Amino acid sequence: MSARIVYQSWKLTVGGEELNLTQSAFPFNFFLPVADNWEVHLNSAISRSNLDAYDLTATLTSMSGTSVRVFHSLAEDRVFVSGGIVLPLGQTNLDTVQVLLAELISDDYLSTPVKQVSEGLGFIGQIGVASEANDWLLYGASVSYNLNGSFTYFEDGDKYNPGDEIAFQGSATAQQGDGALDLDLSYRHYLADKVEGTEVFKSGGVISAVATGRQRFGKMGVALTLAHIIRNKNSVLFGSSLQSEDKNSNSDKSVISGTLAYSISPQVTASLLAGYRTLSANDYATSSSNFFGKSDVVSFGGGLEYSAPDQRYSFFGRLVMNNGEANKDAPEDMIIDVSGTEFSFGGRLRF
């Protein structure tokens, strides 16, 4: 099992006014082998988010992303199938200010650990394959379907049913000596959201590419990750049917992050962390109410990790600072100065 406690504090300054956001989160996952080639996985995240801005305050407390899944491997672990249930334990019936807070923590320029606090009863199915091309190259692919259930999002509102999600993913790992390279490609397709059975919105598909390189030099290790995410146009309700929006209101996202680790002893490792994430401006004109400008946030920090000699358990502590701007191409009084601090503590335990 693995778990961590994360505390983040963000200050957003817009037109001289400050907005303060905090989130405390406890994400955890647990898996249990129950028989040969059979495992049960439990994943969840308990969180509490607070907003204090413009004489407005709001709090969201949630146990979201809670799923129980059964995995079965076949053909000497070259094929797996899984199925499970998503439990509706998130917070629903949100008031106006809570909706503002929920939308804020989901913004991509913030790296909040819990992005979604509301969900209905859902089901997950997945099938995947893996193989070895040779001694140094592994590759695999999977397809999954998430059946999302309805819930009451707005206080005293109608039932809202997020669209189901279909995901295709491929990955490969190449390893030679003390170095390795991981590549992950995925595409997510969304069906239409519905309110009381009527289609009201459809998220655009998402293409993601992530590459991570790792190299060890004696007591020192270096890791570098490059990621790029492309979001296609949404479809919105126009009259009685959904139509693709005129311009893409979504932003593409790129991330560069690196870690420099040094083994102080066989059990203790110190690390330095640095990252840069940028979101492009969307396709609307700056004069449009749908416009949101370019965002850039830089992060840096460090941490310590301890691993037991028998590798049965480990734990870590980490401090990360964030600084940047969002909506940079907008009029000056709408540019968002972003600063944030994150402290996290966690570990892994193998029984």
- The β-bridge relationship of strands 17-35 and 2-14 is antiparallel
Helix H or strand E segment including 17: strand 17-35
Beta bridge partners of 229: 208, 253
Residue 64: its pLDDT value, please?
Answer: 93
Selection from 297, 329, 336, 335 nearest residue 109 by Cα: 297
Selection from 40, 56, 58 nearest residue 48 by Cα: 58
Residue 212: its pLDDT value, please?
Answer: 98
Q: What is the pLDDT of residues 325-341, one digit of tens each?
A: 999 988 888 999 999 99
76: Cβ–Cβ under 8 A, 6 or more apart, which residues? none
Residue 293: its pLDDT value, please?
Answer: 95
The distance in angstroms from the start CA to the end CA of the chain is 8
CB atoms within 10 A of CB 59: 14
DSSP string, 221-270: EEEEEEEEEEEPPPEEEETTEEEE-SS-----EEEEEEEEEEESSSSEEE
Span 5-18, average pLDDT: 95
Residue 338: its pLDDT value, please?
Answer: 97
pLDDT confidence tier of residue 33, bands split at 50, 70 and 90:
very high
Q: What is the pLDDT of residues 43-76, one digit of tens each?
A: 999 999 999 988 899 999 999 999 999 999 998 8
122: Cβ–Cβ under 8 A, 6 or more apart, which residues? 85, 86, 88, 146, 147, 148, 149
